[in-house]
Structure 1
Amino acid sequence: MALVYIICPHCRNELLVDGDEHVCGRCSSRIVLKKGQYSHYFPGNTPKIDPGPMEAGSGPEPAPGCAVSDVPENGAPGGSLPTPPAQPRCRESFSFRFTATAKEYFGIWIVNTLLRIVSLGFYSPWAKVRRRRYFYANTLLDGAPFDYLADPLAILKGWLIAGAFVVVYSVCNRSYPAVAPFVAMFFSGVYPWILVRSRMFNCFNSTYRNIRFRFTPDYKGAYREFLWMPLLAIPTLGLIIPYLLWRQKRFLVENTHFGAASFSFDATPRAFYRLLAPVLAVVPVMIGSLVWIGLAAKGGKPLAHPALALVPVGTFFLAYFLILVYVPTVMANVVWSGTSIGGLRFSLNLKVREVTWIYLSNIVSVVFTLGLLAPWAAVRMARYRFERFTVSGIGGLDSVSAGERQEVGAAGEEIGDLLGFDFGL
Structure 2
Amino acid sequence: MNQYISLNSWAGPDTDHAAFRLATIFALSQKEAEQIVKQVSKGIPWRFADPLDSLNAGNVDRYLSTQGFAVELIPTDAQTATQTADYEDPEYATAGMGDNGQAMHDDALDAGDYGDSPADTLLDEEFDDVPPADTLDEAPVPTGPQKVYRVEFRGVGGELFRIIFVNTLLTILTLGIYSFWAKTKVRRYTLEHTSFNKDYFSYHGTGGELFRGAAFFSIILIVLGAAGTALQMYLGPGSREVVEPALGLMFLLLIPALMVGAYRYRLTRTSLRNIRFSFRGKRGQAMLNYFVGYMMTLFTVGLYYPFFLAKIKNFWVGNSHFGNQTFHYTGQGKDIFSKFLLFVLLFVPTAGLNIPWWQAYMSRYNWGHTHFGSGSFKFTATGWEMFKLQFGNLLILLFTLGIGYAWVLCRQQQFLATHLSFEGAIDMNRVIQDMQKSGVISEGGLDALDIPLDFG
> How would you bin the TM-score normalised by the shorter chain?
0.5 to 0.7
The counterpart of 2:153, out of the listed 66, 77, 98, is 98
1:255-404 superposed matches below 5 A: 255-282=319-346, 286=348, 318-319=351-352, 321-322=353-354, 325-394=356-425, 396=426, 399=427, 401-404=428-431
- Report the residue type matching 1:374 in the other structure: Y
In the alignment, which residue of structure 2 is the partner of 1:228?
A: 292
Provide the rounded CA distance (Å) in 2 between the counterparts of 1:202 and 1:404. Answer: 20
Q: Is the 8 A contact 1:126 1:152 kept in 2?
A: yes
Equivalenced residue count is: 298
Structure 1 residues 329 and 102, CA gap change in structure 2 (3 angstroms): same
What SS does structure 2 have at the residue aligned with 1:318? coil
Provide the rounded CA distance (Å) in 2 between the counterparts of 1:354 and 1:229. Answer: 31
In the alignment, which residue of structure 2 is the partner of 1:253?
A: 317
The counterpart of 1:243, out of the listed 307, 330, 333, is 307
In the alignment, which residue of structure 1 is the partner of 2:11?
A: none
In the alignment, which residue of structure 2 is the partner of 1:113?
A: 168
Structure 1 residues 113 and 404, CA gap change in structure 2 (3 angstroms): same
Q: Is the 8 A contact 1:271 1:334 kept in 2?
A: no
TM-score (norm 1): 0.63
The counterpart of 2:198, out of the listed 143, 152, 155, is 143
Work out which structure has the larger RCO, using CA pairs closer than 8 Å and 6 or more positions apart in sequence: 2
Any unmatched runs of 5+ in structure 2?
1-137, 447-452
Deviation at 1:113, TM superposition (A): 1.6
Provide the rounded CA distance (Å) in 1 between the counterparts of 2:161 and 2:178. Answer: 17
Structure 1 residues 114 and 330, CA gap change in structure 2 (3 angstroms): farther
Provide the rounded CA distance (Å) in 2 between the counterparts of 1:322 and 1:222. Answer: 30
Bigger share in helix: 2
Deviation at 1:419, TM superposition (A): 5.5
Q: Is the 8 A contact 1:275 1:331 kept in 2?
A: no
Q: Which moved more, 1:201-210 or 1:213-222?
A: 213-222
Provide the rounded CA distance (Å) in 1 between the counterparts of 2:393 and 2:296. Answer: 38
What SS does structure 2 have at the residue aligned with 1:212? strand
Structure 1 residues 123 and 322, CA gap change in structure 2 (3 angstroms): farther
Structure showing greater Rg? 1
Q: Is the 8 A contact 1:192 1:227 kept in 2?
A: no
TM-score (norm 2): 0.59
Deviation at 1:380, TM superposition (A): 1.4
- Report the residue type matching 1:277 in the other structure: L
Deviation at 1:178, TM superposition (A): 4.5
Q: Which runs of 4+ in 1 moved over 6 A?
A: 164-173
Provide the rounded CA distance (Å) in 2 between the counterparts of 1:103 and 1:221. Answer: 43
Provide the rounded CA distance (Å) in 2 between the counterparts of 1:180 and 1:281. Answer: 37
Provide the rounded CA distance (Å) in 2 between the counterparts of 1:159 and 1:282. Answer: 41
Deviation at 1:268, TM superposition (A): 2.3
Q: Is the 8 A contact 2:378 2:422 kept in 1?
A: yes
Q: Is the 8 A contact 2:257 2:284 kept in 1?
A: no
Provide the rounded CA distance (Å) in 2 between the counterparts of 1:129 and 1:96. Answer: 22
Q: For the aligned residues, what is the CA RMSD?
A: 3.1
Deviation at 1:166, TM superposition (A): 7.5
User: How far does the alpha carbon of each residue in 1:2-29 deviate from its partner, in whole angstroms, 9 at most, with x for none?
Assistant: xxxxxxxxxxxxxxxxxxxxxxxxxxxx
What SS does structure 2 have at the residue aligned with 1:179? helix
1:198 aligns with 2:262: yes
Provide the rounded CA distance (Å) in 1 between the counterparts of 2:360 and 2:340. Answer: 11
Identity of aligned residues (%): 22
In the alignment, which residue of structure 2 is the partner of 1:125?
A: 180
Structure 1 residues 364 and 163, CA gap change in structure 2 (3 angstroms): farther
Q: Is the 8 A contact 1:154 1:421 kept in 2?
A: no
Deviation at 1:273, TM superposition (A): 1.5
- Report the residue type matching 2:400 in the other structure: T
Q: Is the 8 A contact 2:357 2:382 kept in 1?
A: no
1:20-169 superposed matches below 5 A: 89-160=144-215
User: How far does the alpha carbon of each residue in 1:41-84 deviate from its partner, in whole angstroms, 9 at most, with x for none?
Assistant: xxxxxxxxxxxxxxxxxxxxxxxx9x9x9xxxxxxxxxxxxxxx
- Report the residue type matching 1:265 in the other structure: Y
In the alignment, which residue of structure 2 is the partner of 1:37?
A: none
Deviation at 1:160, TM superposition (A): 3.7
Structure 1 residues 367 and 169, CA gap change in structure 2 (3 angstroms): farther
- Report the residue type matching 1:378 in the other structure: L
